[in-house]
Amino acid sequence: MPLASSEGDHRLRNELATSATRHAWDSLVQIPTDSTFYAGFAALRSAFNTDEVKAWIMSKGMALDTVVVKPDSITGLVLSGRVGTRKTFTLNDDSGWWQVGARLRAAATALDRAGNGLAYVPEQSDRFSRNAVLQWHDITPPTNADELALVRGHLLAEEWSGWSTETKGRLQGSSLAARKTIDRLDERQYLAGCLADLVRNRPDDEEVSLADAQTPIGATSVLATNGADKAAVRDALISHGFLVPKTAKEVRNVIRWLQAAVAPAPALGNYAQLLARPWAPGMLSENDKRLVAQFMRDDAISRSEPSLLRALDFRGVLDEHTPQEVRANADKILERFLDHPSALNWGKAAARSLYFQSASGTYDLSTLEAKQWALNAALLQIDPEMPRRPGNVAGYDIYQPANSGRTMASVRAEIETQLAQNTLLDPKTVPLAAHLLMASSAPEFLVRDIPSTMRIGSVEWADFRLGVTFAERQGGPGCSRRMSYTEIMGLSRLSTSTPGEAAVLDNYGIDVLLDWGLMRGLYEKPVDGRYTQQHHLQAITAFNEECEQLVYALEQFNLPLPIREDSAIRNLQTVFPGLSAEQLKAMRVYIADPDERRNMKLSEPRTRTLIETYMTGDLTRDRWMLLAPGEQPPQPARRTSPFVIPRLSASDQAAVDANVQALNARIARLPDVQAQLPGEVDAYLDKLKQGLSIATRRMIAQLPLADRQALEWGDVDLFALREATDSVPEIDVTPEQVEERRGRKGTLIRCNYNGVISYFEVFPDKLLIVKREDLPRDLALGGTFQTVPKTYGPWAVSALPVRLGAVEPFDFAAYSSNALPRPGVTSPGVIIDKLGETLHATPVSVQGEASNQVPNSFSSPRTRSIVDRIMQGNFIHHRASVLKVAHGMLPLEQKREMLRRNDSILLSMIPFVGAVIDLTKGNIVEGMRGLIIDTAGAFAGGAFGTLKPLVKSTKAVAPFGVKAFRVLEKGVEVVSGFLNPLDGAADLMAAGGKGLVALPKALGRASNPSVLLKLGVVEEKLRTCLGVSNQLQAPHNVQEQAVQPGAHNGHNHSIPVYAVQTDGRWYATHPKTGLPTGTPLDGFEALPA
C-alpha cells in the first residue's frame, strides 16, 4: 500500500474545499492513494468485497450497490420484480451477520465515527462519502448553506500538508486499529488452515514439529519486519497468545481456539451496567436507588403509565406486537423504545436529578449513557432489589431443586407467571421485563435455538451454562444472547494449557457445579446461602463419578457385537502370527486325499476358504492342505488308461503330506469357535446391560423433582407388554413364543406415592421416559381367557383355554421396534405382565417436609433396583436372537441394524455427557483430573454421518464441564472466594461486566490481590487466544490507577476509593481517566495524607 504523504492529504483537502462543497448534500470524493485517509478506505473496500461477505449479501437477496453498513446492522434493498423492499439484519438476529461481518465492521467503525452508516464501495472504486471523510478529519459535515460556507472556509484556512506528527498519528490511529483487527482475523484463519494440514490423519499422541512451517502475516503484525509477509508458525502462534503445541492433540486444540468465535457484546451489555451488589465506585448506591424511585414518582412521564416500560414506549411499539412477538424480539423492541428522543431525554433527566457525572467527567450524558439510565430505572421499578444473585429473577430462584428436570421454556413461563403478579406489568411488558431481568441473572435463557429436550440440572445443562459464562466473561456481558446454542456449545470444545488458565475455568464453573449438586440432592441449600469447600468436594466427587460411569456406558455401546467370523479370525491369528485379517481371508484349504475328493458329492466344494472351513467346524486334522493366495494344488499326470488312477509324483506327495502335517499342528492349537461364541455373546450382553443401566439411571435422575420423589419413596411396580400368541392354547404356549412376542424396547412403571398414581414408559435404548397421565389407576394384567375347541386326533376334540390380549392405550410399535411412541395410539391384542414383586415404599431418610427433600436419584439403591428389574426382566435384546446374529445365520442387514441401534444409543448419549470414550488423567491443576474434548462439537454441528468413525478413533473426549469442575487444591489460593463471590475474591473475574471502576473494589476486598491479578492477566490472555478485543485492561496493582490532581484516597462505607470534589460533592474517579464518575459519594472519608 502506498505510504501517506503530505501531497496526498493536500489534494484531498483541495477537492473537499472546492468541488465537494458546492452543495450541502453528501457527495462522493476521490481518495488519493497517498493520503492519510486511504489506508482506512482501502481496508473498508477490501472488506466489502471479500467472497464471504458478497456471498452472504447476495444470499439475503440484497443488491450490492444498495447496501449500507452501520455499527450493529447492515441494510440493503431486496428487489422483487420492480418492487424493492429495504431489509435490515443486525448483530442480534440469526442471520449470521455477526459471524460473517467481523472484518467489515472493524473497517467501517474506523471511518464511521458518527455511526451514520457507510455505503458499499465497489472493488475498483476510489471514491467515498464526503461527509464520512469530513467526520474522520474531525469536521462536522454541513447540512445547509450557512454551514457549507463555514466548512469551506475552515478547509481553505487549514493546511493538511503541514500536520504535526501528533495530529497525523491521532488520525491514523483508528485506521491502524482496524487494520490490525483485520490482519489478526486473517492470520487466525491462515494459522488454522496451516495447522489443520499438518495434523490431518495423524494420531493424537504423535509429535508434531513446526520448525519449517510458515504462515502468511499482515502488514501490522509484530512479526512483519522488513516488509515480511510470512512468518514461522511457532512465532505467529506466540504472537496470538498460544503456547507452541508439541503433539497432534495439542495442535487440534489450538485449531479449535483459532476457529472459535464469540459474538460482539451489545453496547447495552446485560442492561444492568449501573447496578452492582455490593456497591462499587461508579455504580448506583442503595440511596441512589431510593432517589431514582422518588424521581419516577414525581416525574410526569413516569406517572403517565403503570410502568416505566410503558411510559418509554413513545412510539406505541408494544401495541404492534403480541406477547409472543415481544418475547422473540425483545432486543429490537427495546432499541425502538430507547432510540426515541423523549426516552433519551428522560434518561438524561433521571441522571441529572442525581447529579450523575458521565464518562466525560461532566453532567452531559452520551446517548448510550442515557439509554443505560432509562433501562436501569425500569429494572429498579420492576425489582427494587436489583441486582440479585445469579439465578434469582425478581425473587424467583431458577436453580432451585424443584426445577431440576424441567425444560428451560417451562421455567421461563413460570418466571413470567410470577412477574405477571406485579401490578405494574401487563401481558406485553411481562416478557419484556423477563428479558431485561434474565440478561443479568440468567443469560442462558436468552440464547437462541436451545433444544426443547434439554433439562435443567442435567450435565448438558451444566455444560451449556458454562459455555454461556465463558462467552459472557470472554466477550463481554450480553454477547451470549447474540449466539446460538450450537455456537455456545462450540466453546465447550476448548481446552486450557496452563494451571492458570485452568484456574480461570474453575472460577467460571464453580457456581454451576454447586447448583448441579443442589439439584442432584447431594446437600441442602445453606440457610445463609454460603457454600463451603465440603459442599464443593461433594459436588465434584459426585459429578466425576457420574461422568466416569457415563463414559463407561458409552464405551459399552461402542463395543462390537461378537461375530463368529471375527472370533475365527482372532483365533487364527494366534496360529498364523503376523497375518492380517485380509491375508487370512485370502487363504484356502484343499482336500488332501484324492480318494475323498473323488467320492465327494458334486455339491461339496473341494477347495474352501480357510476362515469359512474353520467357522463351520470342518477344519479337522488329516483332511486339508493349506493353499496360499494364488497357489494351486499339485496335480497328477494326465490319465492314460481308464483302469489306472493317476497319482502324484513321490516328491509332490511328500510336499502334500508335509503341508497337511504343518496344518495339523496349527489346527491342534485352535479352540472350537462355535463353542466359544455363546460365552462371548453373554459377556457382550452383560456389558450392554451395564451401559443401558447407567443411561437409564441417568434418565431417571433428570426427571422433574416430584417424579423423582415418587419413584424414590413410593410403591413401584414394573410391567412388560407382549402380543397374544394367536389362538395357541395356553397349554401349548412355549417360553420361546412368549419371548418372541414381548415388547422388549419398553417397560411400564406404575408408582403409588402418597395415594397419587403415576405411570412412566421407559424406553432405555431410545433414552426416553414418557410420563403417562391418561392411564387408569389399575391395569388389567395377564389378558383374558377364552375356551376354544382343539383337535389332537380323530374324534379327540378338547375345549382348551386361549389367552387373549385386549386393546390397550399403548403404542406397541414403540415397545417392539425402534419407532418412537406416538401419543393417543392404542394397540390390539396386548397382554400386560407384571415384572417381579412390588418394590415397597421406603421412608424419607432426612428430617423435614418430604416435599422439600431431593433424592440423589442417579446413585440411590431404589433407582438401581428399578433399573436392574428392567435389565434382567425385559432387556432390549433376546439372547437367542443376538446369538443368531453373532453366529452369522441371519441376513447381513439384520446384523447391521443391531449395530446401528447401538450406534444410535451412543449418539443419543452424547448431548447428555458432552463427549465419549476414555477418561484420562491430566496435570492441568496440581492434583486435578482433566479431560480433553474432541467430538461434542461434531454432534452439536449435526455431523451424525461422520461422528461414529470419529468416536471410534478418538482416545479421549469429555465435556467442558468436566474440565472446569475441579477441586482447587493448595496450588491455588482463592477457593473460598470462588465459592462465595460476595466475599470479593471472584469479583475480578466478572469486573469486565461492570466496567473498569469495579476493579479496585475487587482488589481491595480480596484476601490475596496478587493471585487475582495474575488470574486477571490469564483471563485476558485467553481473550487473546480467542481473538476477542480487550474488555478488561487490568492495572498491575491498585496504585497504578490514573489519579487526577486533587484526588484523595479514602473509603466510602468501607469500600476503598479514590475521590475528587466537584461542585461541592465527592465523586469516585474513573481508574483509567481519573475523571469524576457516577453519582455523588454519600459516605466518603478521606484517609490522612
Could you read off the pLDDT of 817-841 as tens digits, one per residue?
889 999 999 999 999 999 999 999 9
Predicted local distance difference test score (pLDDT) of residue 640: 66
Q: Tell me: the pLDDT tens digits for 353-406? A: 999 999 999 999 999 999 999 999 999 999 999 999 999 999 999 999 999 999
DSSP 1046: T
Predicted local distance difference test score (pLDDT) of residue 935: 27
Which among 97, 94, 92 is positioned nearest to 76, based on CA atoms? 97
> Is residue 1036 scored above 60 in pLDDT?
no
- Rg of the chain over CA atoms, in angstroms? 37
> Is residue 293 scored above 60 in pLDDT?
yes
Which among 1058, 1083, 1082 is positioned nearest to 996, based on CA atoms? 1058
Span 961-974, mean pLDDT?
41
Predicted local distance difference test score (pLDDT) of residue 1011: 52
563 close to 602: Cβ distance less than 8 angstroms: no
Predicted local distance difference test score (pLDDT) of residue 901: 58
Predicted local distance difference test score (pLDDT) of residue 1007: 47
pLDDT band of residue 624 (cuts 50, 70, 90) is: very high
Task: Give the global pTM.
Answer: 0.80
What is the distance between the alpha carbons of residues 915 and 934, in angstroms, rounded to a whole number?
7
Secondary structure E strands in 293-412: 392-393, 396-397
Span 1043-1066, mean pLDDT?
85
Number of alpha carbons in the 13 Å side-chain half-sphere of residue 444 = 29
Q: What type of residue is 925? A: V
1060 close to 1066: Cβ distance less than 8 angstroms: yes
Please state, for a pLDDT cut of 90, what percent of the chain lies above it: 53
> Is residue 549 scored above 80 in pLDDT?
yes
pLDDT band of residue 900 (cuts 50, 70, 90) is: low
More confident of the two residues 961 and 243: 243
How deeply is 734 buried, as exposed, middle or buried, from its count of CB atoms within 10 A (0-12, 13-18, 19+)? exposed
Predicted local distance difference test score (pLDDT) of residue 905: 56
pLDDT band of residue 162 (cuts 50, 70, 90) is: confident
Q: Tell me: the pLDDT tens digits for 309-323? A: 999 999 999 999 999
Predicted local distance difference test score (pLDDT) of residue 847: 55
DSSP letters of 745-811?
T-EEEEEEETTEEEEEEEEGGGTEEEEE-SS-SS---S-EEEEEEEE-STT-EEEEEEEE-EEESS-
Task: Give the chain's mean pLDDT.
Answer: 83
pLDDT band of residue 1038 (cuts 50, 70, 90) is: very low
Predicted local distance difference test score (pLDDT) of residue 998: 38
Span 261-271, mean pLDDT?
92
Which among 647, 625, 651 is positioned nearest to 635, based on CA atoms? 647
What is the distance between the alpha carbons of residues 223 and 237, in angstroms, rounded to a whole number?
11
CA angle 708, 711, 713 (to 5 degrees): 100
Lowest mean pLDDT among 245-254, 920-929, 1021-1030: 920-929
Backbone angles phi, psi at 73, to 5 degrees: -160, 170
Q: Tell me: the pLDDT tens digits for 460-480? A: 888 899 899 999 999 999 999
Q: Tell me: the pLDDT tens digits for 85-121? A: 999 999 988 899 999 999 999 999 999 988 899 999 9
What is the distance between the alpha carbons of residues 687 and 691, in angstroms, rounded to a whole number?
6
Q: What type of residue is 938? A: A
Span 663-668, mean pLDDT?
95
Q: Tell me: the pLDDT tens digits for 45-64? A: 999 999 999 999 999 999 99
537 close to 522: Cβ distance less than 8 angstroms: no
Span 427-436, mean pLDDT?
98
pLDDT band of residue 766 (cuts 50, 70, 90) is: confident
DSSP 357: B
What is the distance between the alpha carbons of residues 246 and 204, in angstroms, rounded to a whole number?
10
The C-alpha cell of 379 is what?
429494572
DSSP letters of 686-728?
HHHHHHHHHHHHHHHHTS-HHHHHHHHHSEEEEEEEEE--TT-
> Is residue 166 scored above 90 in pLDDT?
no
pLDDT band of residue 913 (cuts 50, 70, 90) is: very low
Count CB atoms within 10 A of the CB of residue 19: 12
Backbone angles phi, psi at 752, to 5 degrees: -120, 105
Predicted local distance difference test score (pLDDT) of residue 548: 83
More confident of the two residues 533 and 73: 73
Cα distance between the two ends of the chain: 55
Q: Tell me: the pLDDT tens digits for 728-745? A: 888 888 888 888 889 999
993 close to 270: Cβ distance less than 8 angstroms: yes
Could you tell me where the DSSP H helices lie in 476-563?
A: 485-491, 499-519, 533-557
β-pair type (768-772, 756-763): antiparallel
Predicted local distance difference test score (pLDDT) of residue 906: 53
Predicted local distance difference test score (pLDDT) of residue 543: 84
> Is residue 933 scored above 50 in pLDDT?
no
The C-alpha cell of 634 is what?
499339485
What is the distance between the alpha carbons of residues 697 and 719, in angstroms, rounded to a whole number?
18
What is the distance between the alpha carbons of residues 401 and 411, in angstroms, rounded to a whole number?
12
Q: What type of residue is 198? A: L
Predicted local distance difference test score (pLDDT) of residue 589: 94
Contacts 24+ apart (CB under 8 A), 18-23: 20/130, 21/130, 21/142, 21/148, 21/151, 21/152, 21/155, 23/148
Please state, for a pLDDT cut of 70, what percent of the chain lies above it: 84
Span 649-670, mean pLDDT?
92
Edge-to-edge strand ranges of the sheet holding 624-627 = 607-609, 588-591, 624-627
Which among 433, 417, 446 is positioned nearest to 334, based on CA atoms? 433
Backbone angles phi, psi at 615, to 5 degrees: -65, -35
> Is residue 627 scored above 50 in pLDDT?
yes
Predicted local distance difference test score (pLDDT) of residue 669: 95
Predicted local distance difference test score (pLDDT) of residue 904: 57
- Angle in degrees, 0-180, between the axes of helices 341-353 and 330-338, rounded to the nearest 10: 70
Which among 677, 592, 670 is positioned nearest to 626, based on CA atoms? 592
More confident of the two residues 657 and 846: 657
Q: What type of residue is 775? A: L
- Angle in degrees, 0-180, between the axes of helices 673-701 and 879-887, rounded to the nearest 10: 130
Span 783-802, mean pLDDT?
77
Predicted local distance difference test score (pLDDT) of residue 902: 61
The C-alpha cell of 99 is what?
459471524
What is the distance between the alpha carbons of residues 573 and 532, in angstroms, rounded to a whole number?
57
